[in-house]
Amino acid sequence: MKTVAVLDFGGSNLRSVAKALENVAGGVHRVVVSDSAQALRSADRVVFPGQGAIGDCMARLKQLRLDEPLRDSITDKPFLGICLGLQTLMDESEEDGGTQGLGILGGTVVRFADGLTDLSTGERLKIPHMGWNQVIPRIDHPLWSGIVPGARFYFVHSYYVQPRPQLIAGTTSYGVDFASAVASNNIFAVQFHPEKSQSAGLTLLSNFLNWKP
């Protein structure tokens, strides 16, 4: 049986991600929630979920000595980043007074500007961006298989990534058009929460488990 490691760095929402993965694993994949470097290295696939502040996340990874094993795992096996799991892939973030990321993918993380308005209606938008919103695929990718372009996914975030343009796999509009999914070789990472996104989210997770980059 193949193993999917869900990285446990002490953040929230890990169990709901694990449960969603178990729901689509079909008895083929064993889902393990772990803060063990060995678990990351021995797993067939790695999922890095997370909510909260990137400064705390990066500090915890270093405290647990997971930053280097995580870098190694990201480079040599199918990897799915969710929310903070996307943002930490960038070079740096504006959050917490400026935080260095893992630098796996080139780019920065910035905060939604105050006073944003909806591009269609002119309605004032709240920060954080919270709730359902459309994701428009920008590339043909196996993880979009079976998902209707413009399907709605669930978001909770105040910061978003600005990656290199060639990495953008999907975009979403919230006062600005921002990258809500990125892809590079064996890496796919999203700003939204597939584990909270009902059928579209479960389809994406199932696609990830069957993905052969």
Active site residues: 83, 193, 195
Cα–Cα distance between 104 and 140 in angstroms, integer? 22
* CB of 108 closer than 8 Å to CB of 91: yes
Q: Quickly tell me which residue has 């929310």 as its tokens.
A: 83
Strand partners, 176: none
Residue 128: cis peptide before it, omega within 30 degrees of 0: yes
Strand partners, 57: none
3-state class (DSSP) for residue 141: coil
DSSP class per residue in 64-95 = TT-HHHHHHHHHHS-EEEETHHHHTTSSEESG
Residue type, 68: E
Cα–Cα distance between 200 and 46 in angstroms, integer? 20
CA-based nearest residue to 204, from 183, 177, 175, 179: 183
